[in-house]
Amino acid sequence: MYAVQVDTRRNARPGLVRGLVRGPARSLSLLLAALAAGQMPRPLMAEEPAQALPEIVVSASRVQLPADEIGSAVTVITAEELEQRQIRIVSDVLRDAPGLAVSRSGGVGALTQVRIRGAEGNQTLVLIDGIEVNNPATGSEFDFANLLNAEIERIEVLRGPQSALYGSDAIGGVINVVTKRPEPGLTLVARGEAGSFNTQDGLLGLGYGGERFYLSGSVNRFVTDGTSVAERRNGNGEEDDYDNTTARVKLGVSPVEALEIEAVGFLVDSDRDDDAFAAVVNLTDSDDQSEALERYGQARARLTLFDGAWVQVLRAGIIDVDRDSFDGTGAKTSASRGEKDKLDYQSSFLFSTPEVAAAEHAVTFAVEREREEQFTDSSFSGRNNVEVESYGYVGEYRVALWDRLFLSGSGRFDDNDRLFDNEVTYRGTAAFRHEETGTRLHGSIGRGVKNPTLFELFGATPDFTGNPDLEAEEAFGWDVGVEQSVLDDRLIVDVTYFNTRIEDLIQGAANTAVNLPGTSEIQGVEVAAFAEPLPGLQLNAAYTFTDGEDADGRELVRRAKHIASFNANYAFELFRRAANVNLGIRYNGKQDDFVFDAASNRSTVTLDSFTLINLGLSFEVHDGVEVFARGENLLDDNYQEVFGFGTPGIAGFAGLRIKLGPVAHAPN
């Protein structure tokens, strides 16, 4: 995937996604009016009107596309939205995206799973700057616990089976995180804040952008005393610390006009206190600890020939994730290491046939080689080390007809090196834009797969033996939606129906893993709306209804039937300085979860619904200097996302942000 720059000038609407709404979000606003001695705030307007550039999406195809030409359901969340909401932990903003359910097993830093359209957490593929970061040693799942907002430019959420483009792990969809490229000239960004639970957060970023060269780096340090991982209502009052240091670097050079070379890398070093499992009550205070060291990197070369008609991309990426756990005495109880390296080449041909339907065509071919390795060692299972290698071959064709109808078809063959069956996956999309009425129709259909994990295939413990005969989990999904825009795009509503059927789910049985018979059926409706009733005032709302059952008709756990969010943002001037008010409301309905008794028998419990209200304020006290404050969980709602695990109560934070250097973004 390619990092692209979009116009985020003050008066440009950020995150203008005509796909499935513009990144759930933007904001209500309170008028905070007579706050200042008789001086009423006025909407913040640029000196000259700025036209918003079309939002470009990089994850929905093998080529970059304007959002309103995409048939798949996609949401884009921009850097401006992340700042308006004062997001520090990326998973928090994902709660606002249609179709997503987020489950955190405790406070900040605890295991965080993201499910798309009812699929499992390890059926969500996560990319950061084009690097596939799902960890082979943890069920090919990405833990969002340690992902901070360290200079993120945009987040794309692509929903529905995407295996035709990305292979395994993309049954539910893809979350693509792109970090910032430096602006022209030299830029310095610094942020510091402190607040509840003795939380301290600091970021320092430096970047230089030139005509043929750019370099940027940042360091983000987040520490907190936290709250008890174990539910405090069960008598657990011990604070569980968490600290995270995230470092990132991005380098780009263009030795000649047709060639772009980019290298990115980031490192996450984190430690957290944990609590111990106990029979019946599930979790109790203890002095357990865990630590992780995550390293990711990628190099990419992009060659563009014949005035953009032929584009070739060569990429090499690697991930290396180490995790260790310790008991209250400091003795190591488990260790894991997941490694993945990937090499891929892609070639795209772009051409037009103006005399035939005014058509624009894109044909893409790609070949990939991927190696995954996991190492695990624990006091109860012993040492285990396994490796797997696979090859993928991809083809995609896109066509735009009369600048109204946009169609795509893609297919993929995965050669799984005889360890398990080879797979063929496909995807088709369509979008139709009727500008006269402001209507856009969109839909997609596809087959996805989730390969067995290395542990399920070859893992070994005293009570478990892997099953090398496992087959991949299969999914068939489709969606169809309509987006309607009125009042010159000041009101946009998008409604999408989705349906997914998943077969051959893998679960433990006796002392091994098996493919379960039957089909899990998941269907639902996503609604997203954006409104701009007044200059400077932007409102976003999202609602998802999910009806999911396993093959035996049981409701799927940790997927609430009803999830909704509302965000309002008001940008205005106060004393001729920029000011901002942001209100966020998130609702999570009742949901089922598992609970185990002393004999490890599993039953189901229903968790109560909850509503979280957050409020953020910011004010520019000097050019490039901003003070801010926010409150979280203002109703002090006592809730659980995972049974037995506690969550933070009401909290407040305040800080300062400084930016020195140019304001405009580099041109695409």
Q: Please check whether residue 6 lies inside any domain of the structure.
A: no
Q: What percent of the chain has pLDDT over 90?
A: 66
Distance CA 42, CA 578 (A): 10
Domains of the chain: total: 1
pLDDT at 442: 97
pLDDT at 521: 94
pLDDT at 101: 95
Residue 539, Cβ neighbours under 10 Å: how many?
Answer: 22
Question: pLDDT by residue (tens digit) across 108-139?
Answer: 999 999 999 999 999 999 999 999 999 998 88
508, 541 contact by CB (below 8 A) = no
Domain that holds residue 390: 33-660
Token pair, residue 285, equals 């205070």
Q: Please check whether residue 15 lies inside any domain of the structure.
A: no
Question: What are the residue ranges of helices labelled H in 498-544?
Answer: none
pLDDT at 279: 38
Q: Please check whether residue 453 lies inside any domain of the structure.
A: yes
206, 183 contact by CB (below 8 A) = no
Q: What is the number of residues in the chain?
A: 668
CATH of residue 283: 2.40.170.20
Q: Please check whether residue 606 lies inside any domain of the structure.
A: yes
pLDDT at 598: 63
pLDDT at 104: 93
Q: Give DSSP secondary structure letters for 249-276.
A: EEEEEEEETTEEEEEEEEEEEEEEEEEE
Please state which of the ranges 57-71, 210-224, 271-285, 464-478 shows the lowest mean pLDDT. 271-285
Distance CA 562, CA 547 (A): 9
Distance CA 238, CA 215 (A): 43
Q: Please check whether residue 17 lies inside any domain of the structure.
A: no
Token pair, residue 262, equals 């980019």
Distance CA 371, CA 456 (A): 17
Residue 196, Cβ neighbours under 10 Å: how many?
Answer: 17
Please state which of the ranges 27-36, 547-556, 582-591 shows the lowest mean pLDDT. 27-36
State mean pLDDT over 159-183.
Answer: 94
Distance CA 29, CA 543 (A): 20
DSSP 3-state assignment of 627?
strand
pLDDT at 621: 96
State mean pLDDT over 319-330.
Answer: 88
Q: Please check whether residue 7 lies inside any domain of the structure.
A: no
- CA-based nearest residue to 591, from 564, 566, 556, 565: 556
Q: What is the CA radius of gyration of the chain?
A: 24
pLDDT at 661: 86
Distance CA 525, CA 546 (A): 7
State mean pLDDT over 610-618.
Answer: 97
Q: Please check whether residue 351 lies inside any domain of the structure.
A: yes
pLDDT band of 462, cuts 50, 70, 90: low
pLDDT at 373: 92
Question: pLDDT by residue (tens digit) across 371-402?
Answer: 999 888 876 666 778 888 999 999 999 999 99
State mean pLDDT over 334-361.
Answer: 94
- CA dihedral over 559, 561, 521, 441, signed as positive or negative: negative
- 565 pLDDT above the threshold of 90: yes
pTM confidence score: 0.89
Q: Please check whether residue 62 lies inside any domain of the structure.
A: yes
pLDDT at 166: 94
pLDDT at 289: 84
- CA-based nearest residue to 519, from 473, 560, 471: 473
Question: What value does the mean pLDDT of the chain take?
Answer: 86
